[in-house]
Amino acid sequence: MINSIINPLKAPDLRNRLLFTAALIVVFRVGAFIPTPGINGPALADWFHQLEGTVFGFLNLFSGGAFEKFSIFSLGIMPYISASIILQLFTIVFPYYERLSKEGEQGKKKITQHTRYGTILISIVQALGVGVYLQSQVAPSGEELVYNPGISFLLMTVLTLSTGTAFIMWLGEQISDRGIGNGISLIIAAGIIASIPGAISQTATVVLTGEMSVVTLAFILIVIVLVTAAVVIMLQGQRRIPVQYAKRVVGRKVYGGQSTHIPLQINPAGVIPVIFASAILDFPRTIAVFFSQNNPDSIVSKFANIFQQGHIAYSIVYFAFIVFFTYFYTAVVFKPDDVADNMRKYGGFVPGIRPGKPTADYIEKVLSRILLVGAMFLAVIALLPSILYMGMKIPFWFGGTSLLIVIGVVLDTVKQIESQLLMTHYEGFLKKGKLRGRR
């Protein structure tokens, strides 16, 4: 175990990447404790206690507690996720963005630039909505949450929160380019992991006060272990399509003739559909809150109340979005036609299937079937906290979405560390691990 930890530190390049990643994550966590000017901190904390289990509690989880403190990083990385979804949809709807997606590195840079612009625009709208909402709220003690409500507070909030989101976006890009792992995913996971000590303390408090029995606590721990094991199995699961390469004689050498396979993951999209679905449902609620302040009985206000976390309508839409984005994201990143064309160029074929279009159709058919299993699993795990609470009134603070994101990010990061170690001829990070992709 000690050697497994020391090995990554022996490779200079990997050590530098790990230290760089850790340093930027520390910067992100420090920023989560810097409050936005004009906020009454004690009153906000008092007011926030009554919102646990609502959308604000959900946002607080993803921001690593920054929303509860209304820090400069309160919006977290969600505006960037929303902008990424919109730009990926644009690549399908608009020919201009479709051409950019096929232009290689230059096209990717252009799409990334537009994603940044979209992130700033969405963060401004969300910051304005949150600012308007908070300055109209009062803590249970009767204190106002904002010392001096008005246009100056709104301008300061929009400037602070949008700048904080832009800085988090920059941190994520720097981690992806110069660190280890996916920067955006690591930032989200770091925020969730930071909330674990608070969840443990909260659980211990309700157990000691008798609000939760020891049997219920044991049941929750068993559920967490079983769900963790199931998530690892599903994220690592594969459906292997056999591929045979025909022999070719070039001069005196014989090429091909070997058998291999195409590894189709049960869930190639990972935790991206869960993040996308959460981001999509978050944006309309922010707009609804902004337009329903002066008229609580309006249709927009009723819409905002219906689509709260834990409501049956929210659960149905959330489930549908996860299934949709699983298929959508897989269709964007995995092209059966390209796989079939590459196989045909090098003399490869699936036994019993003709090369070309029939092979692409066969791969797409197999992928669609296994994706249904993966999408349904993702949706059930993401809705697990709501299912447990609505069915058995059992609180599950470290919910399915959190488990999915943290486990998925950890597996992806460990894979990248494994690859770096194998490239530098060091022993793997896990001696007995069964991470897919390691030979």
What band does 158 get if pLDDT is binned at 50, 70 and 90? Answer: very high
Cβ neighbours of residue 102 under 8 Å, at least 6 residues apart? none
Name the residue with higher pLDDT: 299 or 350: 350
Task: Say yes or no to pLDDT of 5 above 70.
Answer: no
Q: How confident is the model at residue 53, as a pLDDT?
A: 47
Cβ neighbours of residue 6 under 8 Å, at least 6 residues apart? none
Q: How confident is the model at residue 27, as a pLDDT?
A: 92
Q: How confident is the model at residue 25, as a pLDDT?
A: 92
Task: Considering only CA atoms, give the Rg of the chain.
Answer: 24
What band does 391 get if pLDDT is binned at 50, 70 and 90? Answer: low
Average pLDDT over residues 123-151: 84
How is the chain split among helix, strand and coil, in percent rounded to 5? 70, 5, 25
Q: How confident is the model at residue 242, as a pLDDT?
A: 87
- The pLDDT tens digits for 178-193 are 888 888 888 888 888 8
What band does 377 get if pLDDT is binned at 50, 70 and 90? Answer: confident
Least confident residue range of 79-88, 117-126, 380-389, 426-435: 426-435
Please give the torsion angle defined by the CA atoms of residues 288, 293, 294 and 300, in that order, rounded to the nearest 10 degrees.
20
Dihedral sign, Cα of residue 129, residue 286, residue 289, residue 165: negative
Residue 319 half-sphere exposure toward CB, CA atoms < 13 A = 16
Phi, psi at 72, each rounded to 5°: -70, -15
- The pLDDT tens digits for 58-73 are 566 666 677 778 888 8
Tokens of 105: 């590195």
Name the residue with higher pLDDT: 75 or 251: 75
Task: Say yes or no to pLDDT of 57 above 70.
Answer: no
Average pLDDT over residues 242-254: 70
Tokens of 52: 């646990």
Task: Say yes or no to pLDDT of 106 above 90.
Answer: no
CB distance 309 to 53 below 8 Å: yes
Name the residue with higher pLDDT: 91 or 368: 368
Average pLDDT, the chain: 79
Residue 192 half-sphere exposure toward CB, CA atoms < 13 A = 24
What band does 160 get if pLDDT is binned at 50, 70 and 90? Answer: very high
Average pLDDT over residues 234-241: 83
What percentage of the chain reaches a pLDDT higher than 90?
A: 9
Measured distance CA(158)–CA(128) in Å, rounded: 6
Task: Say yes or no to pLDDT of 439 above 50.
Answer: no
**pTM for this structure?**
0.75
- The pLDDT tens digits for 200-223 are 787 788 788 877 788 878 887 888
In the chain, the amino acid numbered 80 is Y
Domains of the chain: 1-194 (1.10.3370.10), 237-397 (1.10.3370.10)
Name the residue with higher pLDDT: 366 or 307: 366
Cβ neighbours of residue 166 under 8 Å, at least 6 residues apart? 116, 119, 120, 123
Average pLDDT over residues 241-260: 70
What band does 392 get if pLDDT is binned at 50, 70 and 90? Answer: low
Measured distance CA(50)–CA(71) in Å, rounded: 19
